[in-house]
Structure 1
Amino acid sequence: MKAKAIIFVVFTAFIIYAAIKVHPFGELQESKMDDYIITHAQNETAANNVVTSVVFDYRGYDTLGEATVLFAAIGGALITLRKEEEK
């Protein structure tokens, strides 16, 4: 029972800390990279769309990893849910 109380107190403290530290919805969080990407995206990537340049050039490996995980998940779901042939 004592362990449950300690876990409850730690969890409650974490939730309160997270609620205090979270930024209000809609509040902008500016960084130095924002200005750099907006200023240099077209020259460095030759893309007319800044979003495209970020997704495919600046974060290309991350996007490739996400696509690989998505493809594997869809493939696994299709293999799991397929109908087996009746003999």
Structure 2
Amino acid sequence: MRLTGFMLIGLLAGFFVWASGDLPERADPASPASLGVSSYYIENAYRDSRTPNMVTAVLADYRGFDTFGEAVVVTTAALSCLLILLRRRRRLDGSESGLFPDLDDPDAYKARPDTIGPEPDPFVDDFTGDPAEPSPGTGERAP
């Protein structure tokens, strides 16, 4: 299965390299975009939009619907990611996973070994334990 995946990726990469031979050269004044649309934008941007910045004229006036569509796609993707990250998951037994505990619950922020991760490290607990007890590195001697 992995070999098939690598072969498909290699085949696709080879196709892209082959297809790039049909692209126009960079900064080619004889490319199709330079012959028609670009010259119109350059000559008429200020007259059509009354905007001194040509980039703003192209993005807002000539390509306004396209720019709006791209903004909608990016916003939708961001909201989708946010909703996926903030959703609560249900376990098979019907209880919630505890990834995002209820904010009103005073015990919500206590460490729960079943949802947090591996067992606590005793070395780290020496540094994060009771502040009244002497800890390593403070210069105090333990009783």
TM-score normalised by length of structure 1: 0.70
Distance in 2, Cα, partners of 1:18 & 1:48? 38
Q: Which runs of 5+ in 1 are unaligned?
A: 1-7
Q: Give the match's secondary structure for 1:55.
A: helix
Match of 1:59 among 47, 58, 63: 63
CA change 1:15–1:40 in 2 (3 A) is closer
Query: How far does residue 17 in structure 1 lie from its aligned partner after superposition?
Result: 4.8
Distance in 2, Cα, partners of 1:15 & 1:69? 26
**1:35-50 correspondence runs (5 A):** 35-50=39-54
Higher relative contact order (CA 8 A, sep 6+): 1
AA aligned opposite 2:70: E
Query: How far does residue 16 in structure 1 lie from its aligned partner after superposition?
Result: 6.7
Distance in 2, Cα, partners of 1:56 & 1:46? 12
CA-based RMSD: 2.6
Give the corresponding residue for 1:84. 100
Distance in 2, Cα, partners of 1:57 & 1:39? 14
Q: Which runs of 5+ in 2 are unaligned?
A: 1-7, 87-98, 106-143
Query: How far does residue 84 in structure 1 lie from its aligned partner after superposition?
Result: 2.6
Distance in 1, Cα, partners of 2:73 & 2:63? 16
Percent of residue pairs identical: 29
Between structures 1 and 2, the one with greater helix share: 1
Deviation sequence 1:34-67 (CA, Å, 0-9, x none): 1111111101101110010000110000000000
